[in-house]
Amino acid sequence: MDIARESRSLDAALKWAAMAGDALPKVVEYEIHRRTAPDDFSKAGLTRILGLGDRLAITRFAGIKRAARDVLFDLDDGELRALGRSLAEPELETLSGYLTGLEKTAGQRVLRAVAQNPAKMLALGSERVRNAIMTSADQGAAVSMMLRTTAVLDPGSVAQDFELAWNRKVNPLLLWEKHPEAVGSLFLGLVILLLVLRRLLFGSRRGRLPASLGGR
């Protein structure tokens, strides 16, 4: 009756009752019916997220699309609960998008890494990064590059990543996302080098007078 009154639809209430069965009170308790429709769940999927027993995680998983939610069910309850508590709905859908868009090995690597440390989504969350990883010739190398963490700037890692981009294994845009300081310094160095070469080749014209005015 609560669902029927809030949705102003007895049909919606009956559908939720058929989907949830004895778990219908939990659907109302966690306000799942306010965030989605019963058709957006399978019975197994609804049982899975209700079993998490965490209000924040449950409501976030209820708020994403069924296809995105189901992809994440490869995780165990503890990992799923941690993701639901740490990542908002857009980040959960982005993570799911990696799993469906990447080749299987790279996708599973992203899933395991983020499940163990949800903060790693900070390096993967933007659409620009996602597209760059998806369009890399070696998606596994691109994923490894973006998931790698180092306490300080590691010249060896920077050189390795530049080599991957030079060999067209990863999208060069990932270099800027991963090493903005190094890329910025390299660009500045190239500009200075070009200015020096220009001065050496063409000289400075400051103070030069036309030949016709040389004697005046």
What digits encode the pLDDT tens for the residues 175-206?
877 776 655 555 565 556 666 666 677 765 55
pLDDT-above-70 percentage for the chain: 80
Provide the pLDDT for residue 172: 86
- DSSP string for residues in 165-198: HHTTSS-THHHHHH-HHHHHHHHHHHHHHHHHHH
CA distances from residue 169 to 2, 103, 142, 187, 189 in whole angstroms, order as listed: 56, 15, 8, 21, 25
User: pLDDT-based confidence at 122, cuts 50/70/90?
Assistant: confident
- Angle at alpha carbon of residue 170, lines to 167 and 175, rounded to 5°: 100
Provide the pLDDT for residue 133: 92
The arithmetic mean of pLDDT across residues 50-69, rounded, is 91
Residues 6+ apart with CB under 8 A from 58: 30, 32, 49, 50, 52, 84
**121 or 215, which is more confident:** 121
**Most distant CA atoms of the chain, gap in Å:** 105
Q: Per the structure block, which two tokens stand in for 41?
A: 């769940």
Mean pLDDT of the chain: 81
